[in-house]
Amino acid sequence: MLVATAMLVITGLLAVYTSSFAVGYHEFGNTSYFVFRQALFALLGVAALVVFMRMDYNRLRAWSVPMLLLALLGLIVVLLPGPGVERNGAARWLVFGPVSIQPSEFAKLAVIIYIAAWLASRGTDINKFSLGFVPFVLLLGIVGGLVIAEPDMGTTIIIFLTASVLFFVAGAPLRHLALLIAVGGFISYAVILQRDYQLDRLAIFVSPESDQQGSGYQIAQLLVALGSGGPLGLGWGEGRQKFFYVPGSHTDGVFAILGEEIGFLGLLAILGLFAFFIWRSVIVTLNSRDRFSMLLCIGVISWISGQTLINIGGITRTIPLTGVPMPFLSYGGSSLIMVMAAVGVLLSVSRYSSSERLHISGTPGKRTAPASPRRRKPPARRPAYGRGAV
């Protein structure tokens, strides 16, 4: 998993550079502006990975409540007029000098850790409506409501899907899961009706050709980039759509830029890296030692794989475009750091599960019965000398 993560991070740095040097030169006079910052974010991500990897994952149980409260505080502060910074009509960032933080990315990991700890402690109470379903829906409602208010529908969907997977795996009844999906769908429908731009996204998803120079411009240019690459691509750095044709070419649209330059086969190789990463994560999940670690792993897998599929689905017009970043590949410090911290959680589960098996058996992956203690022979009776001796 560590090898797969390193390969994805290196691929992401190359992708950010080739998709952003035109924008970096135009806006900042420096072709390496974005890739240099992404490299710094990658170093911070490595630090976060090492911290979580070396930490016993069981300590996250005690940290789950403070992490969730910190995430909620960040989601509230970002909506305030002073600290919160609005970009492109959305208030998602907290800016501290040259550093900007996106609290919703931290909320993804915090929600996974809290829900995993909460579900692991519920036991069979998860089957009860009042003790399982109601508190779970209240938690999702609070977190999802704050993220929707930014507004950030894509992140809300990812948090909802990840939490629903954990709820299902923990043993919740199917009727509760169906009710949860129905409630989420109704709320999403009500929110979409109140925002014209989201209705436009649905209309453009059906027919982007109807307004290629207006609201359908982005998806049309993304499809042009993918189609221009063909099987082998135009060559690394030779793409044309990154020259201000694709909005967000180094963020949400980086997968399309890669498709133009390395082609369909190159994209398959990148997806193979993601598949290898998920496969190793599943192996860690199968070898987990307790319910809490199992839920942690499933939450992280659902988050990373779900976000990857949503990004690719939007770019290929399989699903409506939501604007979520591609894990490891898109430019963005908060996203990269938190994804690598989540990988550190997986590695912690792997390390401490393996060390526990080694402690039990003496050899990795093999259990042996403990040796029975030897019986101590009673000491030999020495003949007594002196009075009373025969």
What DSSP string describes 7-31?
Answer: HHHHHHHHHHHHHHHHHHHHHHS-T
Residue that is written with structure tokens 């890296």 in the block: 273
Instruction: Report the SS3 class of residue 196.
Output: helix
Query: What is the distance between the alpha carbons of residues 166 and 178, in angstroms, rounded to a whole number?
Result: 14
Q: Are 234 and 328 in contact (CB under 8 A)?
A: no
Cβ pair 48, 340 in contact under 8 A: yes
Cis peptide before 231 (omega within 30 of 0): no
Please give the pLDDT value at position 384: 43
Note the pTM of the prediction, 2 decimals. Answer: 0.86
Rounded (10°) angle between helices 196-206 and 174-194: 100
The DSSP letter of residue 208 is G
Q: Which class for 273: exposed (0-12), middle (13-18), buried (19 or more C-beta within 10 A)? A: middle
Nearest-angstrom CA–CA distance, 338 and 108: 8
Rounded distance, CA 206 to CA 200, Å?
Answer: 10
Strands lying side by side in the sheet with 99-101: 84-87, 90-96, 99-101
Q: Rounded CA gap, 133 and 142, in Å?
A: 14
Mean pLDDT by 10 residues, the chain (390 residues): 94 95 91 94 96 94 94 89 70 76 92 95 83 89 88 88 93 89 82 69 72 77 91 91 89 93 95 96 94 95 95 90 89 94 96 66 45 50 42
Reference 237, options 21, 12, 9; nearest CA is 21
pLDDT given at position 131: 82
What b/e string do you get for 56-66 counting C-beta neighbours within 10 Å, with b at 16 or more? ebeebbeebee
